[in-house]
Structure 1
Amino acid sequence: MPRYLIEATYSYEGLRGLMKDGGSGRVDAARKTAESVGGHLESFDFSFGERDTVAICELPDNKAAAAMALTIGASGGATTKTVALLSPAEVDQAVRQTVDFRAPGA
């Protein structure tokens, strides 16, 4: 199943919810969200800096990842950035792929 890195930044409302639910409550909510689209929460961590949380999820496909991102964003509690992750085996396949490309000016 494809893996996705989901970074989230809480809004003011989201931070109030975090204060109410606690960290464990947000992890449970993230787990249920991933499972609701047929996926699995692999890890969930809180972070300092630009992003408040970082999660890795196994999700069935891009449609499921988009559905999660849209639903989270529409809630008003957080904004997300979703990154598709590639396994080393997928990169091995990519570097063996023949690509017909000409660089600009070449």
Structure 2
Amino acid sequence: MTTYIVLINWTDQGIRNVRDSTKRLDAAKKLLGDMGGSFQNFFLTMGDHDLVAVCEAPDDAVMARFNLSLGMAGNVRTRTLKAFPEAAYREIIGSLG
């Protein structure tokens, strides 16, 4: 599984309906689960982003479909980072000439 950091901001629609956001989170977790992925962590944050999720998915295409599905609902906008765990980081750095 590949790890992704998802930076999330509510849209105007999303913040107007913020009381429903926990239900939307549950639906998002189910959607990603149905696609073969999962949420590892989820945070309400202060600063440039309203929410941050750490997710796993089988591949980039699954994560792209998931993010597009979230965006189509109109409540959030996402920015997704592909994350390399420490072991992969060490391998990559160690392979440098």
Q: Deviations over 1:22-50 (max 9, x none)?
A: 5x324312311221211011111111122
Q: Deviations over 1:38-71 (max 9, x none)?
A: 1011111111122111001111111111111111
Structure 1 length as normaliser, TM-score?
A: 0.80
Structure 2 length as normaliser, TM-score?
A: 0.87
Identity of aligned residues (%): 29
| Structure of larger gyration radius | 1
What residue in structure 2 maps to residue 91 of structure 1? Answer: 89
Q: Deviations over 1:61-82 (max 9, x none)?
A: 1111111111112221111000
The gaps in structure 2 that reach 5 residues or longer are none
The gaps in structure 1 that reach 5 residues or longer are 100-106
The separation in 1 between residues aligned to 2:34 and 2:17, in whole angstroms, is 21
What residue in structure 1 maps to residue 3 of structure 2? Answer: 3
Considering Cα pairs closer than 8 Å and 6+ residues apart, tell me whether 1 or 2 has the greater RCO: 2
Runs of 4+ residues over 4 Å off in structure 1: none
> Pairwise mapping of residues 4-23 of structure 1 onto structure 2 (< 5 A)?
4-19=4-19, 21-22=20-21
Kindly indicate which of the two structures has a greater share of residues assigned to strand: 2
What residue in structure 2 maps to residue 77 of structure 1? Answer: 75
The separation in 1 between residues aligned to 2:8 and 2:25, in whole angstroms, is 12
Tell me by how many angstroms 1:96 deviates.
2.5
Superposed CA RMSD in Å reads: 1.6
What residue in structure 2 maps to residue 48 of structure 1? Answer: 46
Kept in 2, the 8 Å contact 1:4–1:83? The answer is yes
The separation in 1 between residues aligned to 2:32 and 2:17, in whole angstroms, is 19
Q: How many residues align?
A: 97
